Structure 1
């Protein structure tokens, strides 16, 4: 099946497929055009519908806007990630809230006792927070693309350092740092290959 044939199997239009998936890239440089609070709010209004187990919603988003906060962040990044992060219009630290269970009686009132189950098991709570926040992070990247912006997600950083710097209460664990904005000059590395369908999908 050709790429055109595959695209025609989807309800999503070709332009939207290109915007969200086929033409979307990780940006490594950004223009000076700002990313507004209104854009971030619109992005989150899409992202909040991501599926999470028992509607846990553990993702927390810290927007790094001030120059002072940017300078606090940079030393915790790998050296190769610092220059582009310093120049990006907006940086978001995406973290997992390990106290997500405190909201469960409100967001999933159908399950009695679930809050107590998570409260009694730190390992279970941390594993759930990490997995489900990661699901939401994938949606966050798609939300950024849906706003016509580019995302530059990074995991090359000292998580313990960022946690101590920005989440000193110990209730949130940083997972991904994302640079956000309009692509700048020469923003893309060469496109790398993806695994083919037959290498990934097995039917039993």
Structure 2
């Protein structure tokens, strides 16, 4: 893909700026209910109803997630939606025992991974300048970039899921090595964390745990 130049570049930049201004005119902030839904009162869930997660909502979930920013638009995250019995059994091999029922009972368990070779796609994702030399032959830099930005996309994914009315249950209690051997052998993909999605059974919830106050963890410089 080639980047626009000259008059075409001026036009697409003007449209992008106008689109942002129009969006801010339509809505300048979320209301309290929306903020409660996605973060303030949101919970991690461990039990699920049998309401199905449709292909349509999974596609919409990805499309919203993909809109979140990453450095140089690298977009290194990759998502494996595990929902078959066979897939769940393969994923269960990597889980700590306490997490097996959480995954087996969820409508969909998502492996949020990142591609260490993300930079090979930069001519498409960042067409106005060839940034591949920033990463080619620099495996450590590529890995740090992939992990950081893939983690960001994992966060966008959870917020997008909640915005669509889904519930989420992120999991880090598993072996990345076992999951990678099971799902990504022979590829440049590495798992980051897991996230169950579906429609929660709230009867498994307990009280929300404490959070730090602003003055405990925030400062000005």
Task: Give the alignment's TM-score, normalised by structure 2.
Answer: 0.85
**1:22 Cα deviation after fit:** 1.7
1:66-125 C-alpha deviation (Å, 9 max, x unpaired): 11111111121111110011010111100011110011011102222x213312100010
Which residue of 1 is the match for residue 5 of structure 2?
none
Alignment of 1:1-80 (within 5 A): 11-80=29-98
Contact 2:78 2:115 in 1 (8 A): yes
Give, in whole Å, the separation in 1 of the partners of 2:87 and 2:30. 39
In structure 1, the gaps of 5 or more residues are 1-9
1:185 Cα deviation (Å)? Answer: 4.8
RMSD: 1.2
Runs ≥4 in structure 1, deviation > 6 angstroms? Answer: none
Give yes or no for the alignment of 1:101 onto 2:123.
no
* Residue in 1 that maps onto 2:152: 135
Whether the 8 Å CA contact 2:92–2:103 is kept in 1: the answer is: yes
1:125 aligns with 2:150: no
8 Å contact from structure 2 (residues 99, 173) kept in 1:
yes
SS at match of 1:76: coil
Residue 202 of structure 1: aligned partner: 219
Larger Rg: 2
* Separation in 2, partners of 1:125, 1:36: 34
Residue in structure 2 matched with residue 155 of structure 1 by the alignment: 172
Q: Give the CA deviation at 1:170.
A: 3.4
Match of 1:91 in 2: 109
Deviations 1:26-50 (A, max 9, x none): 0010111111111111111211111
Question: SS in structure 2 opposite 1:127?
Answer: helix
Aligned residues: 194
Q: Deviations over 1:120-170 (max 9, x none)?
A: 100010000000000010000001101111100011101000001000123
Distance of 1:145 and 1:117 partners within structure 2: 35
> Residue in 2 aligned with 1:4?
none
Is the 1:151–1:178 Cα contact (8 Å) retained in structure 2? yes
Q: TM-score, normalised by structure 1?
A: 0.92
CA distance in 1, matches of 2:202, 2:39: 21
Q: Which runs of 5+ in 2 are unaligned?
A: 1-27
Q: Distance in 1 between matches of 2:93 and 2:40?
A: 34
